[in-house]
Structure 1
Amino acid sequence: MVIEKKKKISKAWIIGAILIVLHFYKLPFYYSQPGDAKELAPFVEVEGGYKEEQGSFMLTTVLMGQTNVYFYAWAQLSDYRDIYPEDQIKRPEETEEDYLHRQQMMMTSSQDAAKIAAYEYAGKEVNISYNGIMVTSFIEGMSAEEYLTHEDRILAVDGYRVKTVNELNKRLAGKDLSEEAVLTVLRDGEEVEIAVPLSPFPEDIEGGEGRVGIGIMYPVTDRSISFTPEVTIDVQNIGGPSAGFMFALEVLNQLTSEDLTKGYHISGTGTIDEQGNVGRIGGAKQKVVAAHNAGSDIFFVPKEGGREGSNYEEASATAQDLGTSTKVIGVNTLAEAVEYLESLGPKEEKES
């Protein structure tokens, strides 16, 4: 009897040890799932600005982390959880700390673009000094990783000065596979010209089907900016560029005396550039879930000019699947979002 008991105890310890090992063993995949919706007013401060909002503007998040066996299996049990190969999230030599730093750089850049777009729309003073476009990471298999380095700053394309990521993309758009892009790059303190051949985007890159480019992933506009009145944005533990559009709405609301929220709880997502153009993001369906869970009245999402497979289409399908009362609104620009909000009556009147 004693021997039998020892055998049972030994088996239990072995099973327990295996379960613990499986918990800590990381697979070469990342999972993502719906995050939450965070009210922006406490994190945005325009000097002397208007803070009396009847409703709220909220950014929406996606939670992401490296998978173990359990998370990988768990992610299969919901349409709102996704699995990504590690090489789609991090470059091969990139540590977790490097990845988080890159995400924070993109967040900072998106905040700058949001401030500029909001101040320009409101007719307020902005002073900008541009220092080139930072090369943060590469798309594996495309030409940029062979010709450029992470320390480079791109200054011009084919002899045309480019100050922002948006200008860089416009100069590269329309080229075909047989062409090259002549980049003027600041490297080791000197300007050099580098001819970079165009490459097809991999099929597994979201939004890259049928397109060609040089293969820079998440470039960042490097610039120094001052605003009048001063503005600060202080959000911790959130990375990436996808909150830029909602930051712009909150900044704009504090710059003007009219409350754009009108009592509505308004969440959303989307990148933004200095001209107020709203761009594609990842995780649209998961952010709709976050907006729904937060009880949002309105969810803004990039319409992408109405293209097939847009964030707006994805978000609308998810909202219908959820049966949510949150209204999904697709927009291409900050101006479109403002015009939509200005067309609404106050929430109290609508519900009375």
Structure 2
Amino acid sequence: MQKQRQWKKIIAIVLLVCIIIGFFIPVPYYITKPGSADELSSLVRVKGHESEAQGSFSLVTIAMAKANIYTYGLAKFLPYHELEMESDVRYEDESDEEYNVRQMYMMNESKNNAIQVAYKAAGQKVEVKYDGIYVMSVKSSVPAAEYLHAGDLITAIDEKTFQSSNEFIAYVKSKKPGDIVRVNYVHEKKKREADIKLTKLDKKGTAGIGITLVDDEKLTVEPKISIDSEKIGGPSAGLMFSLEIYSRFLETDLTNGVKIAGTGTISASGEVGRIGGIDQKVVAADKSGAKIFFAPNDTVTAEMKKADSKTKSNYEEAKETAKAIDTNMKIVPVKTFQEAVSYLEKLKTK
């Protein structure tokens, strides 16, 4: 009898250990689900222009986490929980650091574009200064990996400065694999320089450093502005940032006392772009009590249809989701910042 009890204890302990281990067994998937709708009035600070709106503008987030064997199975049954393969979320061989840098850059670009659009629309001073080449990632097999890291800023090469990444790329391509170039860069706020051997990028023998890069631009604006986006990644809050910033310069309440949510990238020219997870964002916005939801009215191209015949515009998918969850929240399609502003200017409170 005592031996039987001991065996039961052993089996129970083994089962418990197996269950615990299951939480730490990785699977190559991420789980996404509806996140939150965060009011922007507390995140945006424009000197001398505080928010006096009776309503609010909110960005909408998607919650994302790495899956384990339990959450993977659970996600298959929960509504508006999606499984995304790791290879679809991250670039090939992209490290945690590089992924975080990419998300941070996309958010910074989104903020800069939103500020430009809003300030220009409000007739405020805004100047754009090209700062250099921002390193997004570095191939591990190239000589540059010894010196450069994701997040570094390249300011010159062979003592030459450039006005765009295209100029930078053209100069490097004029060299040959094996050539040495002197690179001036900033790493962790310290200026550095290194002599780096160029590598062969393709079968044609194109010379390159072996990095992915983007332009780094700095804005000078008057009045000064700060946006707290430390906990936000990606570019999808661009439209809502631009509306919140623009509203600070108006004498009337652009919200008309209404709780407004939405999503969409914003270009420097004010075009609203497509984002992922629109259905999950509609759910999150509805739970927050939003009455209006701005959705990108993007164009579905022939190439997109060819890749997936079921592809729909963000607006179409948002409308379908709103109907499925039986919400009274109004889904408003927008292609540009100005379309969103025009809609709000005509908005009448009940």
Rounded to whole Å, the distance in 1 between the matches of 2:200 and 2:4 is: 74
- Residue 231 and residue 342 in structure 1: after superposition, are their counterparts in 2 closer, same or farther (change >3 A)? same
Rounded to whole Å, the distance in 2 between the matches of 1:72 and 1:265 is: 34
2:98/2:137 contact within 8 Å kept: no
Q: Does residue 328 of structure 2 align to residue 328 of structure 1? A: no
Amino acid aligned to 2:62: V
Pick one of 314, 318, 322 that aligns with 1:319.
322
Q: Residue in 1 aligned with 2:285?
A: 291
- Residue 299 and residue 16 in structure 1: after superposition, are their counterparts in 2 closer, same or farther (change >3 A)? same
Moved more, 244-253 or 74-83: 74-83
Rounded to whole Å, the distance in 2 between the matches of 1:5 and 1:255 is: 75
1:126/1:226 contact within 8 Å kept: yes
Please report the RMSD computed on the Cα atoms of aligned residues, expressed in angstroms. Answer: 3.6
Could you tell me how far 1:34 is from its partner in structure 2? 0.4
Q: Residue in 2 aligned with 1:124?
A: 124
- Residue 66 and residue 329 in structure 1: after superposition, are their counterparts in 2 closer, same or farther (change >3 A)? same
Rounded to whole Å, the distance in 2 between the matches of 1:131 and 1:43 is: 25
Give matches, 1:260-299, under 5 Å. 260-299=254-293
Could you tell me how far 1:87 is from its partner in structure 2? 1.5
Mark the structure with the bigger radius of gyration.
2
2:33/2:81 contact within 8 Å kept: yes
Amino acid aligned to 1:312: Y
Could you tell me how far 1:220 is from its partner in structure 2? 4.5
Amino acid aligned to 1:238: I
Deviant stretches of 4+, over 6 Å:
149-155, 194-197
Give matches, 1:1-16, under 5 Å. 1-16=1-16
Q: Does residue 337 of structure 2 align to residue 343 of structure 1? A: no
Rounded to whole Å, the distance in 1 between the matches of 2:277 and 2:10 is: 45
Rounded to whole Å, the distance in 2 between the matches of 1:118 and 1:163 is: 24
2:132/2:164 contact within 8 Å kept: yes
Could you tell me how far 1:314 is from its partner in structure 2? 1.2
Amino acid aligned to 1:261: T
Give matches, 1:45-56, under 5 Å. 45-56=45-56
Could you tell me how far 1:296 is from its partner in structure 2? 0.5
1:183/1:196 contact within 8 Å kept: no
What is the identity percentage for the equivalent residue pairs of Structure 1 and Structure 2?
A: 39
Rounded to whole Å, the distance in 2 between the matches of 1:326 and 1:196 is: 50
Give matches, 1:149-298, under 5 Å. 183=170, 188=183, 220-298=214-292
Moved more, 115-124 or 331-340: 115-124
Rounded to whole Å, the distance in 1 between the matches of 2:56 and 2:36 is: 14
SS at match of 2:27: coil
Amino acid aligned to 2:115: K
Give matches, 1:25-64, under 5 Å. 25-64=25-64
Rounded to whole Å, the distance in 2 between the matches of 1:224 and 1:152 is: 12
Rounded to whole Å, the distance in 2 between the matches of 1:105 and 1:287 is: 22
Superimposed CA distance per residue, residues 210-265 of structure 1 (whole angstroms, 9 cap, x where no aligned partner):
xxxxxx99x64411111011111013311111111111110001122221100110
Could you tell me how far 1:309 is from its partner in structure 2? 1.3
Aligned residues: 304
1:154/1:183 contact within 8 Å kept: no
Could you tell me how far 1:154 is from its partner in structure 2? 12
Provide structure 2 residue ranges, at least 5 long, that are not aligned to the other structure. 139-148, 157-161, 174-180, 185-194, 203-210, 302-310
- Residue 305 and residue 130 in structure 1: after superposition, are their counterparts in 2 closer, same or farther (change >3 A)? same
SS at match of 2:22: helix
SS at match of 1:248: helix
Could you tell me how far 1:104 is from its partner in structure 2? 1.7
TM-score using structure 2 length:
0.77
